């Protein structure tokens, strides 16, 4: 089982490499005329300013919830097995929030860069525009997958998931905080940025 386990984070790493390649490809596309670049820059600056503000608020929320999870799940300390330390659910929560935040940051950067490039590509053909738009959108998706798989795999390993005699049910319980941390960003992030591609196609 152990030899197969290490293939899991490898797939996550491959997803991040794919996202990096697509991000680089999108940035190399024609950004359009001066007006397109001006509007695209304004959209990107506004989006990143919003994201910066959101993350500052979320950081306080994550610390507060993480503290509640930690003190609310304190174990009695009577065992040396790491999977018995239920307070580690707070660590999983924080790691999940960090992975989700990174995916959102990378996705937003590329999504806003793809806007005016999608518009410029649309002047050539619909297929060209869809190619740029889908490439930009895939960065967010593959970042979520890659960081999620790597984060979960790392925590599973650190919590002794591969140890002999491990209680997998307890390991899974501690890991559940990871999903909760990821959902913090998803539930509080508005969906308006998802429509940046659509609005960019209207600029021409």
The total number of structural domains in the chain stands at 1
Task: Determine what percent of the chain falls in helix, strand and coil, rounding each to the nearest 5.
Answer: 85, 0, 15
When pLDDT is cut at 50, 70 and 90, the band that residue 183 belongs to is confident
Q: Is residue 18 part of a domain?
A: no
Percent residues over pLDDT 90 in the chain: 33
Q: Which domain does 191 fall in, by range?
A: 32-202
Of 60-64, 182-186, 195-199, the range with the lowest mean pLDDT is: 195-199
Question: pLDDT tens digits, residue range 150-166?
Answer: 999 999 999 888 888 78
Q: Is residue 16 part of a domain?
A: no
Q: Is residue 24 one of the residues assigned to a domain?
A: no
The pLDDT assigned to 165 comes to: 79
For residues 126 and 154, give the distance between their C-alpha atoms in angstroms, rounded to a whole number: 42
Which residue, 180, 182, 184, 158, is CA-closest to 171?
Answer: 158
Q: Is residue 22 part of a domain?
A: no
The whole-angstrom separation of Cα 38 and Cα 158 is 47
Instruction: Copy the structure tokens of residue 42.
Output: 């304004």
Q: Please give the backbone phi and psi of residue 200, each rounded to the nearest 5 degrees, phi first.
A: -65, -35
To the question of pTM greater than 0.95 for the whole model, the response is: no
Q: How confident is the model at residue 29 (pLDDT cuts 50, 70, 90)?
A: very high
Once rounded to an integer, what is the mean pLDDT over residues 116-139?
90
Structure tokens at 94: 């924080």
Q: Is residue 10 domain-resident?
A: no
Please classify residue 15 by burial: count the beta carbons closer than 10 Å to its beta carbon, then call 0-12 exposed, 13-18 middle and 19+ buried: buried
Whether residue 99 is contained in a domain is answered as: yes
Task: Give a yes or no: residue 39 inside a domain.
Answer: yes
Answer whether residue 1 is part of any domain.
no
């Amino acid at each position: 089982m152990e030899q197969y386990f290490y293939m899991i984070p490898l797939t996550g790493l491959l997803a991040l490499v794919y996202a990096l390649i697509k991000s680089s490809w999108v940035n190399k596309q024609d950004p359009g005329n001066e007006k397109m670049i001006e509007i695209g820059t304004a959209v990107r600056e506004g989006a990143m300013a919003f994201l910066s503000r959101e993350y500052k608020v979320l950081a306080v929320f994550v610390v507060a919830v993480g503290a509640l999870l930690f003190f609310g799940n304190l174990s009695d300390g009577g065992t040396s097995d790491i999977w018995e330390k239920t307070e580690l659910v707070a660590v999983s929560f924080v790691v999940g929030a960090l992975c989700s935040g990174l995916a959102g940051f990378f996705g937003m950067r590329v999504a806003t860069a793809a806007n005016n490039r999608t518009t410029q590509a649309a002047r050539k053909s619909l297929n060209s525009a869809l190619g740029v738009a889908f490439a930009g959108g895939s960065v967010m998706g593959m970042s979520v997958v890659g960081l999620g798989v790597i984060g979960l795999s790392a925590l599973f390993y650190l919590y002794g998931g591969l140890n002999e005699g491990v209680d997998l049910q307890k390991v899974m319980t501690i890991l559940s905080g990871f999903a909760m941390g990821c959902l913090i960003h998803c539930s509080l992030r508005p969906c308006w940025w998802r429509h940046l591609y659509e609005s960019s196609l209207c600029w021409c």
